[in-house]
Amino acid sequence: MYQYYPKILYSVNEFDKIKAVDITKSAKVKNLILSSSDSNYLRRYVVQNGERPDIVSFKLYDSPKYEYLLLLVNNIVSIYDDWPKDYETFNKYIEEKYGSISYAMSNYAYHYTSEGVIVSEEYWQSLSGSSKYRETFFEYETRLNIKKARIKVLDFPYIIQFETGLRELL
């Protein structure tokens, strides 16, 4: 994607300058994406275990080069934080964050009312059985990871139009 961005001279220090991508254009790109988020051009896709953006791009568009569009359309800034983790990476993440998978599976992250409002454990204990639920740290992280796997993708004919608009914008 950055091949379309104009380059500017950036001062590293008082003597040295480098040519760098003008990232100030990012706001204009985001506006283009938001204005293009017409449901006629977008459809849902569920990222399968182990699929990276380049793999999804190849699978959908016969080329890995459109991975940047997948990231832009879904407002993904960090592949590590915003893209769904495969099983192995997810389990390593759980172990690093919570110490062990068994801890994450046996300790509760949040307590909810039946309306989905997060409440303290003490308040949760006072609620009747049908008006409350809770989830473990593992369930919470799994729910977030599943949510990340539901992405929007552009229909292929619209990609060419989008790229043309992007080149004109930048």
- Owner of token pair 């990340």: 148
Q: What is the pLDDT of residues 95-130, one digit of tens each?
A: 999 999 999 999 999 999 989 999 999 999 999 888
Q: What is the pLDDT of residues 125-154, one digit of tens each?
A: 999 888 899 999 999 999 999 999 999 998
pTM (two decimals): 0.75
Q: Are strands 118-119 and 42-46 parallel, antiparallel or unpaired?
A: unpaired
- Owner of token pair 């929007």: 152
pLDDT band at 37 (very low <50, low <70, confident <90, very high): low
| 128 vs 53, higher pLDDT | 53
